[in-house]
């Protein structure tokens, strides 16, 4: 089994390699989490459109609440920008307010 060295006991080249591997793992985890959150937002937007076309106002307003909650959490955690979250919430509310013809 390989001997585990502390960071301070490693050479500069080993430290750099270790750091790059750490950042790569961290970025992969963050990318996967961001992808899941964005997919959830897209799914909610699709279900809102379905509710609007079906004329189901109660389900539409419930979906809008979920969109607000999900988008706010995404902005808080840094998945999307704060102003992007505001824009998406505004557009979703306008969609629900507009009646299909």
Arithmetic mean of pLDDT, 61-90: 97
Higher-scoring residue by pLDDT: 15, 45: 45
Measure the CA–CA gap between 11 and 43, rounded to whole angstroms: 48
Percent of the chain with pLDDT over 70: 95
Query: What is the predicted pLDDT for the residue at 101?
Result: 59
pLDDT 10s digits, 37-54: 999 999 999 999 999 999
What does the alpha-carbon distance between residue 20 and residue 14 come to, in Å, rounded to a whole number? 10
| Residue bearing the bigger pLDDT, 44 or 8 | 44
Domain ranges in the chain?
38-101
CA 82 – CA 69 distance, rounded (Å): 13
């Amino acid at each position: 089994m390989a001997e585990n060295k502390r960071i301070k006991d490693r050479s500069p080249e080993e430290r750099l390699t270790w750091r790059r591997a750490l950042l790569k793992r961290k970025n992969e985890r963050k990318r996967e989490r961001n992808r899941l959150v964005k997919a959830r937002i897209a799914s909610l937007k699709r279900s809102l459109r379905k509710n609007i076309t079906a004329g189901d106002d109660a389900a539409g307003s419930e979906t809008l609440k979920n969109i607000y909650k999900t988008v706010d959490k995404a902005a808080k955690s840094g998945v999307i920008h704060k102003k992007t979250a505001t824009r998406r919430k505004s557009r979703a509310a306008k969609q629900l307010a507009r009646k299909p013809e």
